[in-house]
Structure 1
Amino acid sequence: MYDRMNNTACPRISFDFTSRFLLPVYILVFIIGLVANGWGLKTLLRNWTKLKIINVFVFNLGLTDVLYLLTLPFLVMYHFMDNTWIFGDTFCKITRFCFNLNLYGSIGFLTCISVYRYLAVVHPMKVMGRLTVAHSVVISVLVWLLVSVQSLPDMFFTKTYRNKPGKCYETTSTFYVEDYLKYSLGWTLTGFCIPLLITLGCYGHVIVTLGCKKRNNKALKWKSLRLLFILVVLFSVCYIPYHVLKNLNLWSRVLSKRRTCRGWFNGVYIAHQISRGLVSLNSALNPLVYLHGSEDVPAQLRKLLRDFCQMINLRVSPKSGPAPAAKVTEEV
């Protein structure tokens, strides 16, 4: 049992773990996410005249990813310089704001996609005929506004130390950590828990409906199950661990500020840093929704992989004239 004690007696926190872990993760997410989202958005824009209601949400989902990915080079430099932020207090706040827009914007648009799928399966005649692309555009604007309002208070918390080169806090400094914990708990409830319950409710009803119908559309059933699987992966890997561990880590900082030590402080800190890496993966995993939502994307992906493999085989094959090249092409 742990008693109240001086902070100097607390277990040492492995702060150096953050840079060692997040630096390669951010580099990987930036490369994969930028390529995948750029390609997915390009596909949607090329088929803009065929735009469907759900594709409006998918397009906005891609925009949230790109917005966050553009800030990753600065975070990579921050961790490469051993957690030394040289870009000033304002840009630190903008960087964290973009992360929050990506995180809660992704959750919001995934929830919209879930509700749309629910309406398409459970109420196809009553509701779907009345929904238009204009409705989805208005809903998307409302999601952006709601997420911005939820994220805006975060920018009023201290993020750096006197605007000098140093830390760029993910949350805030120790002085304001108690207030930030209260804000974070409310934010978690409205920005994550409620959308999670809506998503689970929608897909629970969809699965029950598809299972009870005697003459159900097998293609629609598998399409719904694929999207459900993607959402389960995103929420289980990216969103749930991050929100649980973020608030636990804030609570450990509150206890430490009150000069109360617990043996789990270091373990929670390391787990939270891992969850930060996992939540950033949502920008690389969200393009899976493109694969689900567009019939053209899987075919283009197969063609892209086939062309890539053909290019690699042509480069590694011996240069012995045109005949071998033709043979390689036929084999691919």
Structure 2
Amino acid sequence: MASCPSNQKLNITSYPLNQTAKLTSLNVFTISLHGLFSTIGIMENLLIIGVVGFHVRRSVISIWILNLAASDLLATASLPFFTLYMAKGNTWTLGTTFCRIHSSVFFLNMFVSGFLLAAISMDRCLVVLKPVWAQNYRNIQLVGKICVVIWGLAVICTIPFYMFRDTIPLPTGHILCYYNYARFPPSGPYDLASLCKQRKEGLAFMKLFLAFLIPLLIIILSYAAVNTILARRGCRRPFRFVRLVVAIVVTFVLCWAPYHFFIIAEAMAPKKGHLQVFSAKALPIAATIGFLNSVLNPILYVFSCPDLCNKIRHSLGAVMESVLAEDLAELARRCSTARSSISTSEMGLRHKNSVPTLKTEEQE
């Protein structure tokens, strides 16, 4: 199997040489963090999908939230497999196909989240800038079609990462689930090192621009336009709105900036340099921070809405009442059965006691 030798040498120095070596405190912390993020993310995104999908009236906002929650649920559901990869000493044991699928889910969530956050920001901007147009044309069908386009574009952007993902066996016994830029070589003569470098840099900058910089620019410009229009109209911006906008921008930057920084550093830094080696070691932690965005998105976009929080509390209360009602009904049924059995036993005893009495009366 052809592969980029520089990447293999880099990854040999990036991971412990002894596959059975004890986990370091940093690895244990990272693995625990992955498990915590996965549990919280799966629970809250399932809760949002259940409540918004079945207990909230269909609206434009609910369509945005459902798609965002579906993307975040995919990401957090794939996190345990990455945790297993780290727990086994950074070696992949689940096969090549699942390596590509698992990695593609991470990149799909990265693109979908960025595209959706940008689309939600533009939607809110249009509601303020073009209220008449929004009233006439902004509906569930249009937003549903936009979401389909967003998922389609995200899938197209994810295809190159699926193609160049591979399992790479190392002399140390590790099996990496990593990029193999030597796959699908060109038909003509080529230099392997140059080909790998070009593909590596191309995919790194593709992620940086399409999944981070362009969505971030759209988010900032949209909310800046909303703030400007509201100020020009003399409308006081509510504190909750300002806090939400700041939280969205800061969270998006803090969660994804480290990942993209280390990806670019690994691709552009000199081979075997300190920055490249450090970036390769820091990438798993940066990816963990990127996963944190899937945990924080529901809190920012859903739990900041009081009406939706009341719906969630009401739904959970209804579930608990239903469970308690079923338990009480079961308890009442058991008590009724117990009373019937006691009554039957008493009647039997009375019948037995009455038989000798009748015989005595007959003898007398």
C-alpha distance in structure 2 between counterparts of 1:128 and 1:192, whole Å: 31
Instruction: Mark the runs of 5 or more structure 1 residues left unpaired by the alignment.
Output: 1-5, 309-332
1:315 corresponding residue in structure 2: none
2:295 corresponding residue in structure 1: 284
Equivalent of 1:237 in 244, 254, 272: 254
Amino acid at match of 1:102: N
More deviation in 34-43 or 287-296? 287-296
1:201 corresponding residue in structure 2: 221
Q: Secondary structure at the match of 1:71?
A: helix
Q: 1:275 to 1:98 in 2, by over 3 A?
A: same
1:212 corresponding residue in structure 2: 232
Write the deviation string for residues 236-263 of structure 1: whole angstroms up to 9, x where unpaired: 21122221221112223xx31xxxx534
Q: Is the counterpart of residue 167 in structure 1 residue 167 in structure 2?
A: no
C-alpha distance in structure 2 between counterparts of 1:223 and 1:110, whole Å: 18
C-alpha distance in structure 1 between counterparts of 2:227 and 2:294, whole Å: 27
Amino acid at match of 1:230: A
More deviation in 160-169 or 196-205? 160-169
Q: 1:223 to 1:53 in 2, by over 3 A?
A: farther
1:323 corresponding residue in structure 2: none
1:223: Cα distance to partner? 4.5
Equivalent residues of 1:107, 1:195 under 8 A apart: yes
Equivalent residues of 1:291, 1:298 under 8 A apart: no
Q: Secondary structure at the match of 2:38?
A: helix
More deviation in 90-99 or 292-301? 292-301
Amino acid at match of 2:241: S
Equivalent residues of 1:43, 1:297 under 8 A apart: no
1:123: Cα distance to partner? 1.9
Q: 1:250 to 1:20 in 2, by over 3 A?
A: farther
**Cα RMSD (Å):** 3.2
Write the deviation string for residues 74-110 of structure 1: whole angstroms up to 9, x where unpaired: 2121111111211111100000000111111111111
1:23 corresponding residue in structure 2: 31
1:44 corresponding residue in structure 2: 52
C-alpha distance in structure 2 between counterparts of 1:111 and 1:133, whole Å: 18
Identity of matched residues, % = 25
C-alpha distance in structure 2 between counterparts of 1:96 and 1:273, whole Å: 12
Equivalent residues of 1:117, 1:224 under 8 A apart: no
TM-score, normalising length: structure 1: 0.77
1:193: Cα distance to partner? 1.6
Equivalent residues of 1:150, 1:191 under 8 A apart: no
Q: Secondary structure at the match of 2:92?
A: coil
Equivalent of 2:159 in 152, 161, 173: 152
More deviation in 223-232 or 38-47? 223-232
Q: 1:123 to 1:222 in 2, by over 3 A?
A: farther
2:90 corresponding residue in structure 1: 83
Q: Is the counterpart of residue 225 in structure 1 residue 242 in structure 2?
A: yes
Instruction: Mark the runs of 5 or more structure 2 residues left unpaired by the alignment.
Output: 1-5, 17-23, 183-192, 321-364
Equivalent residues of 2:216, 2:249 under 8 A apart: no
1:173: Cα distance to partner? 6.3
Equivalent residues of 1:21, 1:274 under 8 A apart: no
1:105 corresponding residue in structure 2: 112
C-alpha distance in structure 2 between counterparts of 1:143 and 1:82, whole Å: 36
1:162: Cα distance to partner? 6.3
Equivalent residues of 1:87, 1:165 under 8 A apart: no
C-alpha distance in structure 1 between counterparts of 2:119 and 2:225, whole Å: 15
1:297 corresponding residue in structure 2: 309
1:274: Cα distance to partner? 2.8
TM-score, normalising length: structure 2: 0.70
Q: Secondary structure at the match of 2:175?
A: coil
Q: 1:172 to 1:24 in 2, by over 3 A?
A: farther
Amino acid at match of 1:273: P
Q: How many residues align?
A: 288
2:273 corresponding residue in structure 1: 262
Amino acid at match of 1:233: V
Could you say which structure has the greater relative contact order, defined with CA pairs below 8 angstroms and 6 or more residues apart? 1
More deviation in 20-29 or 105-114? 20-29
Q: Whose radius of gyration is greater, 1 or 2?
A: 2
